[in-house]
Amino acid sequence: MGEPSSLSFEQPDLGRALDALNEAQLDQLTFGVIGFDAGTAVRRYNTTESKFAGLSPERVLGHPLFTVVAPCMNNFMVAQRFEEAAERGETLDATIDYVLTLRMRPVKVQLRLIAAPNTLSRYVLVRR
Amino acid sequence: MSELLEEYEALTQFLYMAPVGLAQTAMDGQIALINPVSAQLLMPLSRDGSLSNLFEALQDVAPDLRARVNGFGMSHGMVCEAMRLQVAAGVRGKSDPRVLSLTLLKLDETRLMAVLSDVSQQIKRERLLEHNEAWLSAIMTGITNYAIVSLDADGLVDDWNESIARVTGFTREAVLGQAYSIFYPQNATTQERVLDRLRDADGQGWSIDDGWRVRADGSQFWGTAMIVPLRNRDAPEDARPDKLAGLAEATPPTGAPRDASYCLVIRDITDKREASEKLRQASSCDHLTGIANRRAFFDAAELELDRWRRSPRPMSLILFDVDHFKRVNDTYGHPAGDAVLRRLAEILTNTFRQVDVVARIGGEEFAVLLPSTDLTGARIVADRLRQAVELSSVTTDGSCIHLTVSGGVATMEPGVPGIDALLKRADQRLYAAKTAGRNRIVWELPD
């Protein structure tokens, strides 16, 4: 049981490890997890991310990520990278420095963007 | 309590989802509150990837924001409303120009509120509308103070009437067979530009420009000049220029048929100059220096590039950057830095021709677009500017500041896809001039 929370933000092949966690295990992670499907609808949203953003999961789950939940990522630095990876059938695993507007305060974060062909979930992971 | 929490959450999400950018900053631009769309629009512009200061995030597209705010005298009110910031010129047929709109409201002595939105699509529609409107107003206004000049396929005056003498004072003998540039001051047009306007008219159905015109006695007046292609009755329908056609759809012909003819209408609008110039300055001039701003520069460059594509000819671009500008600001303060920029703008204006486009496109970065000028010509005049700056000085608050500039010159050639690419070339050379020790002009890179 103690194992899931030992998942680290940097570890390789993190997407598959996240897929294997249930929601309770996801909630124990110290970084924010937003999982979404091919149509960009949010499917997973952990407690850490919910606290960062000040939004409860009910307000977010099922809604399109880049227009309703996190419009700040709807540019070539984030959203477009997922689109391009999907178009080309490529794997995406990149960590970038970014600024999120959590509760309307500019906050420097690291984002890890994860997507792979043949998997259902894509992830944006947020570390403050 | 939980009701309050729920309301707070709803409010948070309302701001998260708002489709415009909102930010609250201190008077120095330091960001206190900011919503996601602001971050979406600003992050790609931020040089260092941080979003702590609004002025810094926008410094490349709106270098005069700080000066505008400092120069705003009232305790609260609108510092600028729907000001347009050109982000990228766009690539013909691939991507549209990107333009942001910025409204800045001074809330009190310590806080500013900014509203940001992407207006690229709106601008595209507006441009078409503007041209159509110009047409209508030209047709609807009275006809008495117009000179109506008939031009042949090469832009030479081929007929005479009294209206020409009434507005310009020229006689029949003086104008017949002359290019219509006879009505322009000497450095305000080029041989290529004379033909460009005919091609513009072929492609769009009109070509209009406002500026100084010259009378027979050498005196000048502020005039608007419209060129319209006259329909050739014998030409097949599809060869006729389509008046009021969409700007984007019209494919300009490479050359007009030999029997083409044009009508040039010149109108003296000296009395309306102040009003129309004020309007133009508000949107296309840099607030601090009074020369063209980034947006006006990209507009002019795009137009010149269209002409280049239609009929390639020399066209060059120079980028200038003040050497050690940061040191001036740090040593003498921002007002001295501002004085330096104003002085440089003045020297630029005096050195280059009226037909050249002189603009401030970044904090201490200036660009000059030179139509009908090859690399050698641009190089020579760039160096003349460099020398003029070296010999000048700026006095503020008792200190005398000497300054120098570095410059990068690039010229348009096949294989350069657009204005962004040409700017990049000039920028690489400017960088080379900086690393080679400053106060110099670089026009080629070592292989």
pLDDT in tens, A37-65: 988 999 999 999 999 998 899 989 999 99
Q: Where are the domains of chain A?
A: 14-127
Residue with tokens 């292609």: B229
Contact by Cβ (8 Å): A32, A49: yes
**Residue A97: its chain B contacts at CB < 8 A?**
49
Q: Among all chains, which residue has been given the structure tokens 């280059």? A: B352
CA atoms of B224 and B211, how far apart (whole Å): 6
pLDDT at A102: 86
Q: What is the pTM of this model?
A: 0.57
Q: Which of B43, B45, B46, B53 to mutate to test the interface with A (most CBs of A within 10 A)?
A: B43
- Check if B2-118 and B124-275 are the same fold: yes
Q: Is A8 at the interface with chain B, CB within 8 A?
A: no
Exposure of A124 by Cβ count < 10 A (0-12 exposed, 13-18 middle, 19+ buried)?
buried
Contact A55 B17 (CB under 8 A): no
Distance from CA of B27 to the nearest CA of A (A): 17
For A15-91, strand residue ranges (E) read: 32-36, 42-45
Q: What residues contact B230, with CB distance under 8 A and at least 6 apart?
A: B260, B261, B262, B263
CB-side neighbour CA atoms (13 Å) of B447 = 0
B400 touches B393 (CB < 8 A): yes
- Residue-level pLDDT at B96: 65
Secondary structure class of B235 (helix, strand, coil): coil
- Residue B237's pLDDT is what? 43
Indicate the CATH number of B2-118 among 3.30.70.360, 3.30.450.20, 3.40.50.1100, 1.20.59.20. 3.30.450.20
* Cβ separation B39–A103 shorter than 8 A: no
Q: Number of Cβ pairs closer than 8 Å across A and B? A: 71
Contact B50 A99 (CB under 8 A): yes
Amino acid identity at B168? T
Over range A103-117, report the average pLDDT.
Answer: 92
pLDDT tens readout for residues B42-84: 988 888 888 899 999 998 889 889 999 999 988 999 999 988 8
Q: How far apart are CA B55 and CA B45, in angstroms?
A: 11
Task: State residue B144 phi and psi, 5-degree precision.
Answer: -70, -40
CA geometry: angle A20, A26, A28, nearest 5 deg: 135
pLDDT at B129 (0 to 100): 77
Shortest Cα–Cα distance, A106 to chain B (Å): 6
Cβ-based contacts of B113 with chain A (< 8 Å):
none
Structural element, H or E, at residue A106: strand A105-115
Give the pairing of strands B111-118 and B146-151.
unpaired
DSSP B231: P
Whether the predicted interface score ipTM is above 0.90: no
Domain spans of chain B? Answer: 2-118, 124-275, 285-442
CB neighbourhood size of B41 (10 A): 25
Which pLDDT score is estimated for B262? 92
In angstroms, the separation between the Cα of residue A61 and the nearest Cα of chain B is 13
Considering only CB atoms, which chain B residues are within 8 Å of A59? 9, 13
pLDDT at residue B342 in the model: 94
Q: How far is B15 from chain A (nearest CA, A)?
A: 8
Q: In chain A, which residues have their Cβ closer than 8 Å to the Cβ of B45?
A: none
Query: A64 CA to chain B: closest CA distance, Å?
Result: 11
Answer whether A80 touches B (CB < 8 Å).
no
Beta-bridged to residue B179, according to DSSP, are: B156
To the nearest whole angstrom, how far is the Cα of A84 from the nearest Cα of chain B?
17
In B273-392 the beta strands, taken as DSSP E runs, fall at 315-322, 357-360, 365-371
Nearest by CB to B39, from A55, A68, A101: name it.
A101
Q: What is the pLDDT of residue B30?
A: 95
Cα B65 from Cα B200, distance rounded (Å): 35
> Do A98 and B43 lie within an 8 Å CB cutoff?
yes
Q: Please give the Cα distance from B367 to B259 (Å, whole number).
A: 40
Q: What does CATH list as the number for B124-275?
A: 3.30.450.20
HSE-up of A71 (CA within 13 Å, CB side)? 22
Residues of chain B in Cβ contact (below 8 Å) with chain A: 8-9, 12-13, 15-17, 19, 31-41, 43-44, 46, 49-52
User: Of all helices (H) and strands (E), which one includes residue B113?
Assistant: strand B111-118
Residue A10 in this model has a pLDDT that exceeds 90: yes
Of A73, A104, A108, the CB nearest to B33: A104
The minimum CA-CA distance between A102 and chain B, rounded to whole Å, is 8
Q: Which residues of chain B have pLDDT under 70?
A: 1, 90-96, 131, 134-144, 231-258, 447
Structurally, what CATH architecture does the domain formed by B285-442 represent? 2-Layer Sandwich (3.30)
What is the architecture, at CATH level 2, of domain A14-127?
A: 2-Layer Sandwich (3.30)
How many helices (H) and strands (E) in chain B? 14, 16
Q: Which of A58, A61, A69, A99 to mutate to test the interface with B (most CBs of B within 10 A)?
A: A99
Query: Are A72 and B39 within 8 A, CB to CB?
Result: yes
A63 at B interface, C-beta within 8 A:
no
Residue B309 is predicted with a pLDDT of: 86
Cβ atoms B296, B285 nearer than 8 A:
yes
The sign of the CA dihedral B178, B179, B180, B186 is negative
Helices B419-435 and B294-310 meet at what angle, rounded to 10?
A: 120
